[in-house]
Structure 1
Amino acid sequence: MLTASLLTVGSLLATLLLTGSFRRYALSRSLIDIPNARSSHEVPTPRGGGLALVIVALLALGVLLALGDISTPVFLALGGAGLVVAIVGFLDDHAHVPARWRLLGHFLAAGWGLYWLGGLPEIVLWQQEVDLGVAGHLIAAVFLVWLLNLYNFMDGINGVASIELVTVALGGLVVAGVAGTWDAGLLLAVLIGSGLGFLVWNFPHARIFMGDACSGFIGLVLGLIAVWQGALQPELFMAWVILLGTFLVDATLTLLRRIVRGEAFYEAHRSHAYQFASRHYASHTPVSLAVGLINLAWLTPMAVLAVTSSLPVLLILVVAWLPLGLLAVWFRAGAAESF
């Protein structure tokens, strides 16, 4: 507990200070997001501050490896894949990278991470473990690429991406404690601290944006942690999928509705449920706080249930996600935008 507390505080302070440095860098290089019709912000704001979080997390992985708290394959999986995605995002933040090259980098990163983790482990869908073999590894790669991209899509209002990181990581710690698997505990403590450190700069009013380098990094790392934990105990993978439900449900439902309507779903838009909600309440704050509350008060208990009860895990997932789907529909996720 002492080590975890020190890592949390240290990561918070390091990210807090580094983010300030990156803000000055962004201002000096005119790396500014200018609001437009697709934006959820009204004030020009520097971007790319999330690189501080990426640097702290990567350095922490090295420290944890040196201390023997994570294995070399885990270090190579999370550190290597995360670094590739961060570099692709950094280049895209500075000069637009064509979508096909971004996607290639994302799949290479996902494949690298899965290789070192041994691919998708056996998972529990109903009441028994299932090995999906090669198909499972391919599905896992698509899942990871979708997760890192949707995390970028969902990073659209003040504080929401950091609050998602902090509360999902907290939920992961609770689930790990219940399951008795502490392998990722110290890394999660680092992510919580770093998320809080960046949150100071991004909430309730954004003085700098996270940027693609960080949002993609977080999405991929959380997905790889889910795969890593699933290899330790099969129910844990689905528990992590439950924990990530707020972002997964909104982004996936939005994407599907845009595809059905025949829209160019790959273009920038602001038709996610959380974006409609922030306009409805004329504020980002209640929406971002609601995401954190849902994660802690609803999804975390459901994830705990997934690893402790004899109920089918897939049934628990459906029950956990159903209210999220209804809420997303209520706030018109994927509906046509009006300007």
Structure 2
Amino acid sequence: MFATLVGGIYTVAGGRVEFSAGFGTGAHGFAMMVVWGGLAVLAIVSFFDDALSLAPLWRLLVQIGVAAAIVKAVADLGVWQTAFAVLLMVWMVNLYNFMDGMDGFAAGMAVVGFGALSVVAKLQGAEAPAEGCAIVAGAALGFLFINFPPARLFMGDLGSTLLGALAGLMLLVFHQEGILPVWLGILIFSPFVVDATVTLIRRVLRGERFWEAHRQHYYQRLVRRGWGHRKTVLAEYVLMALTASSAVIANGLPLRLQWAIIGVWVLIYAVLMYAIDRTEPKENEAAPV
């Protein structure tokens, strides 16, 4: 457990610098207090979850409350937009938590995701967010050297929760500031988004206890099929690099072409998931990897 907590704290340190660089000079003081306070609450809850395994419902309620407070503080949105922004932040938090089940996966996604956000911000002339996201990507890359399979240190809920919160907040801020539309931000993180979302929906439709540990994520199924952690995570890195590159390129294109690119990726994901579903032998999927 100690190594897990240290890994989480190491990752959070990068997030702290990111917020200082990306928002410290331009954001209103009260908004920054809310952001820092919210992140502190998430960190504390995640720390105790690492140590004590808190009930999922309590974690979710805290996440919703923190996300609502942060969204209200940093954005002036209508009711439905606010609801979507809160849902996005909560889902990004849980995406990182759900998908931090394979050595090097969540850290690699942070390297690619925040790296792509940094490139987009730099191209748009937004220097502070570009610098901040680059710092997070760099921190994640440093951590990846000891987290790549076979890992010597693990991120834990503390690290994955804070990275997810940072990702959700950056997507919101980038959209609001006209740096990157949220649909392209989601495309960058789509290897996480698609796997976790589709798996959750399938489990709900089957009437399963979807909040419990399982091994039904597509990346877990590839590992079980003999790919192993290293081959699977390298394949995910390639997928992440392609989706991130597509989003960076699409950001300079007309809206209809942006959505055309997203449509192509929807088809690609559908084919990939169908191939895994079609060729996988039936087996008991109750136990976690």
TM-score with structure 1 length normalisation?
0.75
Query: Contact between 2:118 and 2:131, CA under 8 Å: does it hold in 1?
Result: no
- Alignment match of 2:168 (pick from 220, 223, 226): 223
1:310 alignment counterpart: 254
CA drift of 1:325 comes to 3.5
Query: Contact between 2:50 and 2:157, CA under 8 Å: does it hold in 1?
Result: yes
Residue type of the alignment partner of 1:323: I
1:157 alignment counterpart: 102
* Structure 2 CA distance for partners of 1:252 and 1:270, relative to 1, 3 Å: same
* Structure 2 CA distance for partners of 1:189 and 1:261, relative to 1, 3 Å: same
* Structure 2 CA distance for partners of 1:301 and 1:115, relative to 1, 3 Å: same
Query: Contact between 1:84 and 1:109, CA under 8 Å: does it hold in 2?
Result: yes
Q: How far apart, CA to CA, are the structure 1 residues paired with 2:37 and 2:274?
A: 37
1:112-127 correspondence runs (5 A): 112-119=69-76
- Alignment match of 1:299 (pick from 243, 249, 252): 243
2:207 alignment counterpart: 262
Aligned residue pair count: 282
CA drift of 1:116 comes to 1.8
Give the superposed CA RMSD. 2.6
Q: 1:274 is paired with a residue of what secondary structure?
A: helix
2:191 alignment counterpart: 246
Bigger shift: residues 233-242 or 247-256: 233-242
Bigger shift: residues 244-253 or 46-55: 46-55
Residue type of the alignment partner of 2:263: V
- Alignment match of 2:158 (pick from 213, 219, 239): 213
Unaligned runs of 5+ in 1: 1-22, 27-45, 121-132
CA drift of 1:64 comes to 6.1
1:55 alignment counterpart: 13
Q: 1:50 is paired with a residue of what secondary structure?
A: helix
CA drift of 1:289 comes to 1.7
2:129 alignment counterpart: 184
Q: How far apart, CA to CA, are the structure 1 residues paired with 2:35 and 2:107?
A: 19
Write the deviation string for residues 132-191 of structure 1: whole angstroms up to 9, x where unpaired.
x21111121112111111211101111000000001111112222333333311111211
Query: Contact between 2:19 and 2:132, CA under 8 Å: does it hold in 1?
Result: yes
Q: How far apart, CA to CA, are the structure 1 residues paired with 2:211 and 2:19?
A: 33
2:43 alignment counterpart: 86
TM-score with structure 2 length normalisation?
0.87
2:177 alignment counterpart: 232
Q: How far apart, CA to CA, are the structure 1 residues paired with 2:23 and 2:174?
A: 17
Query: Contact between 1:78 and 1:221, CA under 8 Å: does it hold in 2?
Result: no
Bigger shift: residues 162-171 or 284-293: 284-293
CA drift of 1:308 comes to 1.1
Query: Contact between 1:277 and 1:287, CA under 8 Å: does it hold in 2?
Result: yes
Q: Structure 1 vs Structure 2: percent identity of aligned residues?
A: 31
Q: How far apart, CA to CA, are the structure 2 residues paired with 1:119 and 1:275?
A: 39
Whether 1:98 aligns to 2:55 is yes
Whether 1:134 aligns to 2:76 is no
Unaligned runs of 5+ in 2: none
Residue type of the alignment partner of 2:250: A
Q: How far apart, CA to CA, are the structure 1 residues paired with 2:26 and 2:158?
A: 26
